[in-house]
């Protein structure tokens, strides 16, 4: 019985760690008419897959403008 409880606790820990939330703030900077502009997106939090999808979407947007996206994990 003791081994079962320890095993269940380990499994619960692994599952909860996989569901941890990750937060990032992303931005990109571009020049237009001799003016430097920065686009900063609101902080995005969620599971790793959700945040990675958000980053991929914003990278695609930045690439359309020929600039590089910068993301900082919070």
**What pLDDT, on a 0 to 100 scale, did the predictor assign at position 48?**
93
pLDDT surpassing 90 at residue 18: no
- Given this model, what pLDDT does residue 74 score? 87
pTM of the predicted model as reported, rounded to 2 decimal places: 0.68
How far is residue 45's CA from residue 20's CA, in Å, rounded to a whole number? 10
pLDDT attached to residue 20: 75
Render pLDDT for 23-50 as a digit per residue (tens, 0 to 9): 999 999 999 999 999 999 999 999 999 9
């Amino acid at each position: 019985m003791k081994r079962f409880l320890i095993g269940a606790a380990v499994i619960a820990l692994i599952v909860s760690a996989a569901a941890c939330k990750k937060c990032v703030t992303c931005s990109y900077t571009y020049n237009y008419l001799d003016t430097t502009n920065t686009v900063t997106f609101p902080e995005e939090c969620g599971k790793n897959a959700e945040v990675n999808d958000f980053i991929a979407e914003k990278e695609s947007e930045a690439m359309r403008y020929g600039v590089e996206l910068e993301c900082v994990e919070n």
